[in-house]
Structure 1
């Protein structure tokens, strides 16, 4: 989201340090707090403010209220053939997500492919981070994620109230000799919940129809999502197509992992739990690596050679915008609107952080 009047730019290291201190004071182990805070700020760096440091107040609240187990570690509960299942035990999502990847890599390396599930982890955050972990290790990975432990946020196509989470899907392929990693990371709602929150904090509108108001009518007003509230629902992207993918992610992640779906037979404590099913593949098991690399690069070049509709905005590959913005924000700082800054400082003060962001 573009910088607006009144926004303040703060360096990534300062934001990470603030987040780590707040999480530590809320009860997290210092190393965990550092990793989780870095995970949030990296989302900001890549332009995904919806999954960035603006979530810190919710994370601090969850730690204080026991909605995340600050001492837990995920546990492998099934390891057979190409399948490995992990129980998150309400551990920090960043820790559980990386553990799932590391459990899958040896199997995928040996067998050519592995399927890993993760249940009952705290918020995994930006799923693209785990795609990057896999791609950087030379693996292809496909992720399906659902959301539980709180009220649904996304309406089914043709519906007027929420019945799903934002249920992200991510696909990652490793870099080649000349191309960076391919990274598709998207919510199955038209906009992420956090994007509605950020827009509300900034007093901005969102694309019409991406939100359904309390009366079940399409709108461009995100004010019902300000300050972690929810009045109304998000709409699925692509109408019936996004709805179908959201439903598929709900079933693949929630059912196969054993962690459950968002249907009301499961508890909703007001926290954030994620379930995930990921397919991890070793490309070399599928054919000659050099031949596949040439084909990937040729398709990449062909797609990006399309004459752009706007000559100031050339065609790019999935993952390119994040890479470009990461360089810019690392140099210039991360923009925070006054409302988000206020929420962050209030969360820090509540757990005894003495420093103030934005001074």
Structure 2
């Protein structure tokens, strides 16, 4: 490492508060620190993280172009690059930015580090009329997800209900993306995934389960889909990382610090790596989040025969851990036409009834599951772009330089 860079780091660290030093070191290990120190025209000194940041708009077609160019630069086949770009674009459009373009650096590191096999193709190991056991072969998340959902949809159309479970998988993005594929065919889509161990079970000190997302997408008339997409932890490590980067506090009851006490300091949460189940502590019914996570773990690693969460490697924001994660995922598809007629009408009626309930605050109307993402996607599609901070743009530009591709094109947006 160049001596001048070490001197710059030392000078900047000397002027930072202790919690900022911990964050700087974490960012540096994750590949962010050097960008903040040396990015020249693209960024400001790290001390300026504490001031309000300008945002920059990146057009949707430019996001897609950049993702595909980056993936092709690390030898991802065209078809797989397009599929992965679709998955990441969905995340950005629905407001889950840390599963979208901002996850691209980690995805690229995993590919270059052979934690992901970008040219691999999943295969069926065992199947019956309504079930399939799949080997994801460590392929990209979009590759495995598309394969499994295609198999599940075909089986559900034929026999009414299908369940497909895959081992040797990678991060598959926003869970509801896969359920939406079923909903477009008039089917119900349910998805589960286990993840790195980040959750502390009730009364425990050690991590034993992941954030283990659950998603349910039910088709309704006139695009009135019900979209349930939740983690079984109160927050995720990506959100904690974002809070730390932006100098924001966590909500109460989301994480434990190194002393095993609830903390609102994201730096302490990153240091301990301990997230609480959905619900918070035991007094707030955290056993329910714990039980949901356990259910997902059994549906995934139990059926797939892959690693349990407590055998997985730790959460790795740097993408530098040795070997693939060996996540497991389950995809269930149900044909509502095999049951009482009028399913989509009843779903639409439910959604509309929930929305017309009298709100406690007239300025905060009651929402149906999925309304927040639906509103976000309509806004972003109408605008045609997604806002990113200067620090985020900086990181992406450094990747473009490293991979020798055309830099990300953006325009000034507004100050937050």
Secondary structure at 1:236's aligned position in 2?
coil
CA RMSD, aligned part only? Answer: 2.2
C-alpha separation between the residues in 1 aligned to 2:347 and 2:78?
A: 42
Provide TM-score, normalisation by structure 2: 0.78
Instruction: Please state if 1:236 is matched with 2:281.
Output: no
* TM-superposed deviation, 1:224: 5.3
1:201–1:340 CA contact under 8 A, matched in 2: no
C-alpha separation between the residues in 1 aligned to 2:251 and 2:126?
A: 44
C-alpha separation between the residues in 2 aligned to 1:22 and 1:208?
A: 38
Structure 2 match to 1:194: 238
Question: Which structure 2 segments of 5+ residues have no match?
Answer: 1-51, 280-285, 315-320, 412-416
Structure 1 match to 2:378: 327
* TM-superposed deviation, 1:38: 2.9
Secondary structure at 2:349's aligned position in 1?
helix
2:257–2:271 CA contact under 8 A, matched in 1: no
Pick from 121, 141, 145 the counterpart of residue 97 of structure 1: 145
* TM-superposed deviation, 1:31: 2.7
Question: Which structure 1 segments of 5+ residues have no match?
Answer: none
Where do residues 175-190 of structure 1 align in structure 2 (5 Å cutoff)?
175-176=220-221, 178=222, 180-190=224-234
State the number of aligned residues. Answer: 347
Q: 1:38 to 1:108 in 2, by over 3 A?
A: closer
Structure 2 match to 1:284: 337
1:160–1:212 CA contact under 8 A, matched in 2: no
1:49–1:194 CA contact under 8 A, matched in 2: no
Structure 2 match to 1:14: 62
Q: 1:344 to 1:201 in 2, by over 3 A?
A: farther
Where do residues 258-269 of structure 1 align in structure 2 (5 Å cutoff)?
258-264=305-311, 269=322
Pick from 218, 224, 233 the counterpart of residue 173 of structure 1: 218
Where do residues 1-359 of structure 1 align in structure 2 (5 Å cutoff)?
5-148=53-196, 152-176=197-221, 178=222, 180-223=224-267, 231-238=272-279, 239-264=286-311, 269=322, 271-288=324-341, 290=342, 292-332=343-383, 333-356=385-408, 358=410
2:181–2:189 CA contact under 8 A, matched in 1: no
Q: 1:251 to 1:230 in 2, by over 3 A?
A: farther
* TM-superposed deviation, 1:307: 0.7
C-alpha separation between the residues in 2 aligned to 1:208 and 1:61?
A: 33
* TM-superposed deviation, 1:84: 1.0
Secondary structure at 1:114's aligned position in 2?
strand
C-alpha separation between the residues in 2 aligned to 1:205 and 1:262?
A: 27
C-alpha separation between the residues in 2 aligned to 1:211 and 1:244?
A: 18
* TM-superposed deviation, 1:200: 2.1
Q: Which has the larger radius of gyration?
A: 2
